[in-house]
Structures are given as structure tokens and as C-alpha cells.
Chains A and B, each alone.
Chain A
Amino acid sequence: MIQLKKRANPSVLMGYLAPVIALGMTLVAGFLLFAVLGVPIGEAFKAYFIEPVSDLYGLAELGVKAAPLIMIAAALSLGFRAGIWNIGAEGQLILGGICGGAVALAFYEVEAFYVLPLMCLAGIAGGMAWAAIPALLRTTVNANEILTSLMLTYVASLLLSFLVHGPLRDPDGFNFPESRLFHDAATLPLVLSGTRLHIGAPIAILVALLAWVLLSRTLLGFALRVNGDAPKAARHTGFGQGQLVWFSLLFTGAMAGLAGLFEVAGPIGQLNPVISPGYGFTAIIVAFLGRLHPVGVVFAGLVMALSYLGGENAQIALNMPLAVTGVFQGMLLFFLLAADVLIHYRIVFGQERRA
């Protein structure tokens, strides 16, 4: 019989160990999955974890994939700490891509230095506007932000699909659902020539640092932390529940919008019907894996970026379905949530004798 015994104090050690335990368990479960699918474990390991990052290009790709995850997850972890569940970051990302991309297309003939900053602002504004809807509905009529932000994600991806099939479609594009390719003035500068690593990567690190300072060094951060455990106590910090909701959603919306703009102005270079492989959802896992801590999120973002790269490489090398990535990500979050139990409880095997 397995029993849970409450610890007198939450274990700090387990707080750090839980993600490691969860990663280990995901690996074991993953290898079992490969065994079932009939893939030799050695080859699977190589395809997932070694080959994708065995050269400079691969490492740069890791940064390309990790950047949006880190930006969004760092912002999400602030809100999650406060018990404000914005799970529509994917939609906010798409709106950022749409708005920023629309600016790029509007200035199609203009090759000026101000085009890119303008696109960034539009991307941020788009993401914030999309996040403002659930914030408004939560603060005025107390409508559940989980459901509203998620519904808006479906609306956003339909809106993108409509735009690239219609108004924003490339006039010379043989009716393909794509916009024109952005000009050089409207694409992100690269950090590492010969790769796709763009300035989004260093900016993502800056965002994580900013979020960390906000969380640990400001009163607002304190209020967010308190709100998760005791909403009534948080009011005594001077920040009302409404303000925290607005801040959490707008901040995530801004970062998700910027991440979306970086995708269309960076690796993609145009608007097409699918501008994200679910970064907004994966960022939720990144936030938890990073312990809802902006610095932890950086490491977690790299791990999850590897899961995307590994998934893509395994599809080519081993003919594995891409869906395996989603299975891995889901399992990781399960194991993490299970391992978190060790923070507050000890596991006792057998019946413990009563005193």
C-alpha cells in the first residue's frame, strides 16, 4: 500500500528535482513507446536527441524554436502564479503575426529602417488586443478566461486562414493561400549568418530576465505571487484582482504577439495559413517545466525546442509520425505534475505504524 505523508515544510530540493525526474520518466516511457512501434531504441535516441543538434545549424535551429517558447512561457508563468489561466496564447501569437505581417505588406514598396520596428509594435498591439478581450470579459462580467481565451484561438486561426485566402493573398501567387514574401527591410536580422537564428533569440532571453525582475523585485510581482495562494491577501498589496488579471493577460498577449511577428518576419518570411506548430500551447508546458520561474523557463524552453527538432528529424530519419511529439509533450506534463507531489508529500510504502 502506497501512502502519502505530508511534509512539515515543502521540499526545496524536490522543487528542483521534480522536472528532472519527470524528464527521466518521459524518456523511459518514450523508449517503451518506441519499442511498441518497433523502432530500435539506439536509433530513436540518436534521431531525437543527437542528430538534430550535432552541428551549428542544428544548434541554431534549437534557438529558433526555443525563442517563441521562452518569450511566451516567461510571461505565462507570471499569470499562472497568480491563478490567471490565459491558455489562448496561441491565438494571441497568431494575431501578432497577422497585424505585424499586415504592416509588412502595407509597406511592401518601402525599404526603410522604421518598417521592422513598426511591425514589432503592430505585432505587440495585435497580441494585446486579442488578450484584452478575455481580460475585459473576466473583469467586467467574470466570464471564465480559460474558455474565452481558448475560443479566441480558434477564431484567430480561422481569421488568418481567411486573410491569406483573401485580402492578404499574393496577387501573383497563382491563388496559393500565401501572402507576398516580405522584403529584406521587413525581415528580422540574423544573429548567426548561414543559419536561421534571428534576433528573436537574444530578445527572448531579455524577456525572461525582465519577467524575472518583475516577479522577484517589484511589488506587482509580489502581488501576483500572493494572489495565487490567497487572493484576499493580495488586495493588501494595493493591486486589485482586476489589475492583476489585466496585467497578466496583456503582458502575455504582448509577448505572444511579438513572438508571432518574429515567426512571420523570421523563419517564415510571409503570412501563410499555419504560422505556429502550437508554440502557444507548448509554452504552457514550458512554463510548468520551468517551475513558473522565468529563468527556469529558459532551460525548459530549450528542452521543448529539442522535442520539436527531434520530432521533425525522426519523421525524416525513421519515418516516425510527427504526432509523437505531442504524445511526448503530454506525457512530460503528466509526469511533472505527478512528480510535483513529492514537494509536499513523502511517499511511504507499506502501513506506517501509528504512535
Chain B
Amino acid sequence: MNGESSMFVLIALTVITAATPLVFAAIGELVTERSGVLNLGVEGMMLTGAVFSFLCIHVTGNAFLSLLVGIFAGMVMALLFGFLTLTLQASQVATGLALTIFGTGVSALVGQSLIGVAYEGLPKIAIPVLSELPTVGPLLFQHDALVYLSWLLVPAVAIFLKRTRPGLVLRSVGDSHDAAHALGYRVVRVRYIATLFGGGCSGLAGAYLSMAYAPMWVENMSAGRGWIALALVVFAVWQPGWVLFGAYLFGGITILQLHGQGIGINVPSQLMSMLPYLTTIVVLVLISLDQGRVRRNAPAAIGQVFRPTT
């Protein structure tokens, strides 16, 4: 491998690690939103997933168990959200904000004892034979398990939503809960499942941050990634494939910010750190320009409270 292509591979690898948590959080929220539920608590669910998985790896040393704990933590938070918005029919916007405030507080409290604790990061799994290929090998076949999982999850969700019966039911619940209810589908149950899936994905995204990306616990370490994931779902006009594209785009921007000085961009670090947030705004504006496209693809019943008539 010559120097130039190895430099390219190194940068591409960091882009992939930066994008992976966004893929998980956004694809989970996409499923939640397709069922008609807007959960603004992604940031809070990510932080709880991050802190509890890191706590588990610190105590047990078992990476697999820790990832499960991260998923579970996100799901518990999502269950709380579901109980308030689906069972008690509280406002989804307000409850989502509460989830983020609560998750930020809980994670800071739990993480108090984890500051400064070291972890070597998730092990890389090299796929035999393929990982030996020049350039392509290290680029695609020498990652930790979660990167592979993120690549599998996106097409799996796409197929589920588009080609399976439960996927169709989920979409119909998100587009018109009254019609779905009239057809005999269990609107609230479907939404609970979709919300829990979203919570699990956000928890996993957080676990990836603390166990692979960082890997350590820092208070508030998601730094707005949960909100960026929410914007990514809009950017993707609720289509899974575009989530993957958007997440890698943002991963690239995050890396540009980290390595800006290294590649000769002489701008103060704080201004470079604004890039992901400013890009999110620009991207939202660009996507919103085509309102017809947004309206055609947005779940019609998103954010609406379902009150069963009978």
C-alpha cells in the first residue's frame, strides 16, 4: 500500500467510526417516526445508553453484555416516553424534551464514578481473506462488530418497511392511525414496539460512543448527536438508504473538524466545531426547499395523539 492510499484509508476509517452512532440513532428514530411517533428524546436515550454500557464494561469487562445493557437502557427510557405519550397521551414534543433533560441528568449522575476510567475499545473483527485485500480490505473488512451491524441494519429496516406485512402495518399506523384502527390493527401496541426499537437503537448509538468512538465516558459526550440524528431523518425524507448517506456525510464533517488543522485549514478550533451544527441547519433548509417531497414522504400522523374512538 502506498502512502497516499493509506492516508485515505485512515481518514475513511475515522469517518466510519464517527458516522456509525449517527446511523444507529437515526435509523431507530426513522422507524419510530414511521409509526407516527416523534421522539425528541434521542439525545437523552443516547446518553443513558452510553453511560450504562460503559458502567457495565467497567464492572464486568464483557463487551457483548455491555452493548446489551446499552440497548436496554435506551429501551427503558423509550418505555417511559411511550407510557407518557401513548398510554397517558401527553404531548410528544414536551415529553421528548423531558426525556433529554432527564437522560442528561441521570447519565451525569451515574457517570460521576466513571470519569477517567480507561477502556481499550471494542475489538476489531477482520473478515478472513477479504480483509487481506489492498485498500478495500482495511476499509471495509476490519471493523468492530457494530460497524458491520449498522451496515446490515439499514437494508434490513428498508426491506422490513417496504416488503413485509408488519412493515406495512407500521407505516399505515403512522400515516393514518384512525384508518389502521378501523382495520383492526393495534395502533398503540405497534407504536410502543416502534418506540422501543428506536430507544434500543439510540441506546446502542450511545454505547458505540462510549465503548468504541471515544472510548471513555465524558459528561454530555453525545454533544448534540441525538439532535443531529433527528435532523438526519428529515434529511433522509424518512427513507432508510438516505439515512446511511446522511450519516456518512456528517461523519465526514465531524472528521474535517477534528483534522482541519492537520490538513492546513487554519481556523480556531471552536469555529471548526460549529461545522456539524451549521451543516445540520443548511441541510434542513435545503431539504425543506422541496416541501412537496417532504410532505409526500413524511408520516402523515406524525406527532399526533391517538385517541381510540371505541
**Complex contacts, A106 vs chain B, CB 8 Å:** none
Partner of B101, one of A154, A330, A340: A330
- Minimum distance in angstroms from B44 CB to a CB of chain A: 8
Chain A interface main SS type = helix
Interface residue tally for chain B (C-beta within 8 Å): 45
Q: Give Cα A134–Cα B281 distance, bound, in whole angstroms.
A: 9
One of A150, A162, A323, A333 near B108 (C-beta < 8 A): A323
Task: Decide yes or no whether A318 CB sits under 8 A from chain B.
Answer: no
What's the minimum C-beta distance from B308 to chain A, rounded to whole angstroms? 10
Q: Are B109 and A147 in contact (CB under 8 A)?
A: no
In the complex, whether A143 has a CB less than 8 A from a CB of chain B is yes
A243 to B89, CA, bound (A): 30
- Asked whether, in the complex, the Cβ of B268 is within 8 Å of the Cβ of A162, the reply is yes
Task: Tell me, yes or no, whether A46 is within 8 Å of chain B by CB.
Answer: no
Interface of chain B: mostly helix, strand, loop or mixed: helix
Please report the C-alpha to C-alpha distance between residue A85 and residue B294 in the assembled complex, in whole angstroms.
20
B273 partner residues in chain A, CB cutoff 8 A: 158
A325 near B105: Cβ-Cβ < 8 Å: yes
Q: B274: which A residues are within 8 A, CB to CB? A: 154-155, 158-159
For the complex, give the distance between the alpha carbons of A285 and B99 in Å.
Answer: 12
By CB atoms of chain B within 10 A, which of A137, A151, A285, A340 has the most?
A151
Q: CB-nearest residue of chain A relative to B287?
A: A143
Return the contact of A151 from the options B40, B94, B102, B277 (Cβ within 8 A).
B277
A182 proximal to B (CB < 8 A): no
A280: min CB distance to chain B, Å:
12
Interface residues of B in 248-266 (CB under 8 A from A): none
Within 8 Å of chain A (Cβ to Cβ): is B103?
Answer: yes
Chain B: minimal CB distance from A151 (Å): 4
Interface centre among B80, B94, B273 (most CB of A within 10 A): B94
User: Once the chains are docked, how many angstroms separate the CA of A321 from the CA of B84?
Assistant: 28
B16 to chain A, nearest CB (A): 23
Q: Count A-B pairs with CB separation below 8 Å.
A: 133
- Docked complex Cα distance between A139 and B204 (Å): 36
**Does A152 belong to the interface (CB within 8 Å)?**
yes
A143 touching B102 by the CB < 8 A rule? no
Q: Is the CB of B108 within 8 A of A85?
A: no
B104 at the interface (CB under 8 A from A): yes
Q: Determine the residue in chain A with the shortest Cβ distance to B270.
A: A162
Q: Is B280's CB under 8 angstroms from A151's CB?
A: yes
Q: How far is the CB of A125 from chain B (nearest CB, A)?
A: 21
CA distance A137 to B89 in the complex (A): 30
Contacts of B152 in A (CB 8 A): none
Q: Which residues of B contact A162 (CB under 8 A)?
A: 268, 270-271
Interface residues of A in 303-355 (CB under 8 A from B): 321, 323-331, 333-334, 337-338, 340-341
B176 in contact (CB, < 8 A): no
CA distance A337 to B93 in the complex (A): 11
Is B56 on the interface with A (CB-CB < 8 A)?
A: no
Contact A165 B106 (CB under 8 A): no
Q: Which of chain B's residues has its CB closest to A83's CB?
A: B93
Bound-state Cα–Cα, A137 to B80, Å: 32
Q: A151-B278, A158-B274, A334-B98 are in contact. Are A323 and B285 (CB under 8 A)?
A: no
Q: Is the CB of B268 within 8 A of A137?
A: no
CB contacts (< 8 Å) of A284 on chain B: these are: 97, 101
CB pair B88–A166 under 8 Å, yes or no, is no
In the complex, how many angstroms separate the beta carbon of B225 from the nearest chain A beta carbon?
Answer: 11
Q: Are A321 and B284 in contact (CB under 8 A)?
A: no
Q: A146-B93, A147-B234, A327-B109 are in contact. List 14 more A-B contacts (CB 8 A).
A: A144-B284, A147-B280, A151-B224, A152-B281, A154-B224, A161-B270, A323-B109, A326-B101, A330-B44, A330-B98, A330-B103, A334-B95, A337-B84, A341-B90
Which residues of B are at the interface with A, using a C-beta cutoff of 8 A? 40, 44, 80, 84, 88-91, 93-95, 97-99, 101-106, 108-109, 112, 219, 223-224, 227, 230-231, 234, 268, 270-271, 273-274, 277-278, 280-281, 284-285, 288-289, 291, 294
Sample of 17 A–B contacts (CB below 8 Å):
A137-B281, A137-B285, A141-B291, A144-B284, A146-B93, A151-B277, A158-B274, A159-B274, A162-B268, A285-B101, A288-B94, A323-B106, A330-B102, A330-B104, A333-B101, A337-B90, A341-B90
